[in-house]
Structure 1
Amino acid sequence: MPGIGYESVVVRKLRVEDAAQYRAFRLEALRAAPTAFTSSYEEENAKPLSATIERLAATGRPDDAVVGAYYAGRLIGIAGLSVPLRRQERHKATLFGMAVAPHASGCGIGKVLVRQILQIAASVDRLTQVGLTVSEGNLPAERLYRSCGFEVWGREPRAVIIDGRPIAKLHMVRMLDRPRPV
């Protein structure tokens, strides 16, 4: 969609009332790009809307967040942050569920979402790093994450198997407590 620019996009934390729209967007992303995600369309589609509401409510998980990017009032991108509850893991978080609508791809929306997640992460007390996984061969996503300061620290062969095909995942991390490389 020509004309979408990151400067005209509104990014905000999703609320419980956004659950149906978020669920529909996420399901479409899972259906359209199954190798990009660890979750499958079939498993997620089988879950009731109440599971999505619980995720957005984040009851008992005050540092978790799911953000949405809106253009002209329409959801065009999503990303989430999950912070472990166990004390010995509370220094790290995971960026999950990153997706941008195909018509908005290449417009800088992904970078806006990742930066918003990193900003939220930086505000969480004692959080020093954010990790993620990206499917090997998903070069646009890998380039995006690298441009936001993430570095590959490992490769997991056969991390997921989709339609009998093994997909490796690259594990990436962005340290919050050191200056970002220029």
Structure 2
Amino acid sequence: MNHNTIIVRQLGLADRDAYFQLRLRGLKTHPDSFGQSYEEALAQGASQHDATLQGSRAAQGDFLLGASLASDAPLVGVVGLLRNGRDKERHKAAVVGMYVAPEAGGRGVGRALLTDLVARAGRVSGLLQIQLLVGTHNHAARNLYESFGFRKYGCEIGALKVGDAFYDADLMARFL
């Protein structure tokens, strides 16, 4: 599949169920990569994402993006941007919930999602920096983020605890 066929768009309320199902897949298969657990997500339900999916805060830097391999095809990748709401930290936003379904792996979906996210972030008034956390063990993701200019500025020891296992996370940032 050639990279030109990847369609990235801002998700809306009509995408709620498709987004939630793809997110659940990510939470279940990679519990060490997301702050929210599969069980928490199920308990809170799909509506937990409604405020962001409504799109009313997209211009301020809160949005969810989805990728598919054709205009009528299902979502195969998702990522979000959430801007910090506090006055002294509004110049920063966090990249959240990045997930590409395994059947779409290696096709450039993650790269397409990040390209769109960085472009949109660059148009948000007053937004100067985007940050993210990536599992220290997740070399492929970290390499992708570095290719977009993200740089590691720290490591959170034991950032996530899944069962009895602890996972460190690299803190990365990119200036716009």
TM-score for the superposition, normalised by structure 1: 0.90
Q: Indicate the percent of aligned positions where both proteins have the same amino acid.
A: 35
1:84-99 correspondence to structure 2 within 5 Å: 84-99=84-99
Match of 1:179 in 2: none
What does the per-residue CA deviation read over 1:59-83, in whole Å, with 9 as the maximum and x for residues that have no partner? 5674201000011321010000001
Q: CA deviation at 1:158?
A: 0.4
- Structure 2: how far apart are the matches of 1:124 and 1:86? 16
Q: Which moved further from structure 2: 50-59 or 90-99?
A: 50-59
Which consecutive unaligned segments of at least 5 residues does structure 1 have?
177-182
Match of 2:5 in 1: 8
Match of 1:47 in 2: 44
Of 18, 35, 39, the match for 2:32: 35
Which consecutive unaligned segments of at least 5 residues does structure 2 have?
none
Q: CA deviation at 1:120?
A: 1.0
Match of 1:124 in 2: 124
Residue 77 (str. 1) matches residue 77 (str. 2): yes
Secondary structure of the residue that 2:16 maps to in structure 1? helix
Amino acid at match of 1:35: D
Match of 2:65 in 1: 67
Secondary structure of the residue that 2:85 maps to in structure 1? coil
- Structure 2: how far apart are the matches of 1:104 and 1:9? 10
What does the per-residue CA deviation read over 1:122-151, in whole Å, with 9 as the maximum and x for residues that have no partner? 011111110000011101100110011100
Q: Is the 8 A contact 2:152 2:172 kept in 1?
A: yes
> How many pairs align?
173
- Structure 1: how far apart are the matches of 2:170 and 2:57? 30
Cα root mean square deviation, aligned = 1.3
Describe the shift of the 1:158–1:118 C-alpha distance in structure 2 as closer, same or farther (beyond 3 A).
same
Secondary structure of the residue that 1:44 maps to in structure 2? helix
Q: Which moved further from structure 2: 46-55 or 159-168?
A: 46-55
Secondary structure of the residue that 1:124 maps to in structure 2? coil
Q: Which moved further from structure 2: 75-84 or 42-51?
A: 42-51
Q: Which moved further from structure 2: 150-159 or 78-87?
A: 78-87
Amino acid at match of 1:104: A
What does the per-residue CA deviation read over 1:62-107, in whole Å, with 9 as the maximum and x for residues that have no partner? 4201000011321010000001122211111100000001011111
Secondary structure of the residue that 1:107 maps to in structure 2? coil
